[in-house]
Amino acid sequence: MALQEKLIDSLGSFATKFNSYRYIMAIKSSFITLMPVIIVGAYEEVNFFRYCQELVCFF
């Protein structure tokens, strides 16, 4: 077995064990659910500061 295959097997078993914890699954599902909100919020924040610089707002 090559080193790459051993690494893939060991990481795969670790990921399977780690993914079976229900608290980890709850955190993962909440991140998946909130990802569009996070992306839109980050985009709007960048646009807000760009708009503020055009108006010479000082925060």
For 35, how many CA atoms within 13 A lie in the half-sphere containing its CB? 6
pLDDT bracket for residue 36 (50, 70, 90): very high
Structure tokens at 12: 């795969």
- Confidence band, pLDDT 50/70/90 cuts, at residue 56: low
Q: Using CB atoms within 10 A of its CB, is residue 36 exposed (0-12), middle (13-18) or buried (19+)?
A: exposed
- Token pair listed for 22: 């229900």
Mean pLDDT of the chain: 84
As for how many domains the chain has, the answer is 1
Q: pLDDT tens digits, residue range 17-33?
A: 888 888 988 998 999 99
What is the model's pTM? 0.52
Q: What is the residue range of 27's domain?
A: 3-55
